[in-house]
Amino acid sequence: MISFLKKMRAYLVKVFYTNRAKKVVKHYQEPLGVYNKSSFTPNTILGKNTNFNGMVINGKGLVKIGDNFHSGKECMLFTSNHNYEGDAIPYDSTFITKEIVIENNVWLGTRVIILGGVIIGEGSIIQAGSVVVSDIPKYSIAGGSPAKVFATRDIDHYNKLKNEGKYH
């Protein structure tokens, strides 16, 4: 009975947060799965087969997330920062806004933070707890604070799976 109740709760959470995302984002493609508490902005564009296990997208900048995306829990994307070069110290009432682009087939581990102005290349994996402050090239495995590339995927294997249409 407990197993059934857990499955029912997970299903209801998914339906609630997925439907909420669909009402907020600028554009999305099915399938879309939001499996845990998440918040999006009206400047968010989602590709097909995007999956969120807990995401906060904050700011007024554009966020583009490609196909077959997966995130761990408690990830955050920030597209706006206080303007520290404005009319007051430490910052004024204006914001610096930059877009974030996450290309196809990217996987973010738990508690990844991505700042505005970043492009994460196709097929990349970002290690849990990382802070991404600069672009990550295609097929990279990156981690740390700030995130640095420490490995590259087997590109032949990646392309084989991609050509066979084997997506999770």
Structural domains for the chain? 2-163 (2.160.10.10)
Per-residue pLDDT averaged across 23-41, rounded?
97
Q: What is the pLDDT of residue 120?
A: 98
Identify the CA nearest to 79 among candidates 95, 52, 92, 60.
60
Q: Rounded mean pLDDT of 39-47?
A: 98
Contact indicator for 133, 148 with CB cutoff of 8 Å: no
| Tokens encoding 59 | 């700011």
Is-catalytic flag, 70? no
Alpha carbon 162 to chain centroid, angstroms: 20
- Residue tagged active-site, from 70, 82, 157, 168: 82
Question: Does residue 1 register a pLDDT over 80?
Answer: no
Helix, strand, or coil (residue 34): strand
For 101, other C-beta atoms within 10 Å of its C-beta total 16
